[in-house]
Chains A and B, each alone.
Chain A
């Protein structure tokens, strides 16, 4: 097997395993990663073993290690800066008022909604209630009601949005790390 074929095979296996893991998490089937990951590793190792050419010699290893070291240095420094910036947001997070909402169905077929705004950083008790807004019909709300409703909806889906944001952030960080590593790899490949 040629080196390029092995690389292609490794890439395909990685994509397949990643897709299977993604699907299994969405479907709630956690048995798939347990099988797919070791199977993928076995296939990749088998491919590497069948390569007739030299895959990596000491120069290649030196380039890999230098590129990895420099990437790690950059990643650590960037992570420290990012962590300080993002941690500062948690200070302001506790200052944001908490919003809760409940929907009630009335006999005439309309749905009303009660939205409560509580004091920041306090438990949801009547003493901490700042104000209550009642939307008589959520299908026919006025401008003020719509604004409060939008704010509530925004907060209600905050958890999902945050999870999505975490996923996107991890993906972004991974992409940046890979690009940085690639840049350092090219640099050291040219140097040595």
Chain B
């Protein structure tokens, strides 16, 4: 799963701390999501999209992995 959180955050001139506060998570979670290490739940995904005022598919892009399931599925 890829995301444009970092780009959208930069567009809105928002810090990681501010975004974390808006969506009710820790800053570490934002860092992890931006690095693509953590895949958020649908609920959190919608909250992020709402903060940026865009649709969820403008923030997240699903990419099928060729070699087996993704690490998030473990």
Answer whether A192 and B38 are a contact pair too, CB < 8 Å, given A54-B26, A57-B26. yes
Within B17-43, the residues touching A (CB, 8 Å) are 20, 24-26, 28-29, 32, 37-38, 40-41
* Chain A residue at minimum C-beta to C-beta distance from B38: A192
Q: Measured between alpha carbons, how far is A54 from B40 in the docked complex, in Å?
A: 16
Q: Measured between alpha carbons, how far is A59 from B71 in the docked complex, in Å?
A: 14
Within A58-73, the residues touching B (CB, 8 Å) are 58-60, 62
Q: Measured between alpha carbons, how far is A172 from B24 in the docked complex, in Å?
A: 38
A57 surroundings in chain B (CB, below 8 A): 24-26, 29
**A58 touches which one: B20, B37, B44, B71 (CB < 8 A)?**
B44
* Chain B residue at minimum C-beta to C-beta distance from A3: B26
Judging by beta carbons under 8 Å apart, are A54 and B25 in contact? yes
A192 surroundings in chain B (CB, below 8 A): 32, 37-38
B55 to chain A, nearest CB (A): 21
Tier of interface size on chain A:
under 10
B20 to chain A, nearest CB (A): 7
Judging by beta carbons under 8 Å apart, are B26 and A58 in contact? no
A131 an interface residue at 8 Å Cβ cutoff?
A: no
Judging by beta carbons under 8 Å apart, are B37 and A191 in contact? yes
Q: Measured between alpha carbons, how far is A168 from B20 in the docked complex, in Å?
A: 44
**B40 touches which one: A53, A58, A60 (CB < 8 A)?**
A58
A57 to chain B, nearest CB (A): 4
Within B37-74, the residues touching A (CB, 8 Å) are 37-38, 40-41, 44, 71
B31 to chain A, nearest CB (A): 10
Q: Measured between alpha carbons, how far is A191 from B71 in the docked complex, in Å?
A: 9
Answer whether A58 and B32 are a contact pair too, CB < 8 Å, given A191-B37, A191-B71, A192-B38. no
What is the interface of chain A, defined by CB distance below 8 A to chain B? 53-54, 57-60, 62, 191-192
What is the interface of chain B, defined by CB distance below 8 A to chain A? 20, 24-26, 28-29, 32, 37-38, 40-41, 44, 71
Known: A59-B26, A62-B38, A192-B32. 11 other contacts (CB 8 A): A54-B24, A54-B26, A57-B24, A57-B25, A57-B26, A58-B41, A59-B40, A60-B26, A60-B29, A191-B37, A191-B71
Top 4 A-B pairs, shortest CB-CB distance: A57-B25, A59-B29, A192-B38, A54-B26
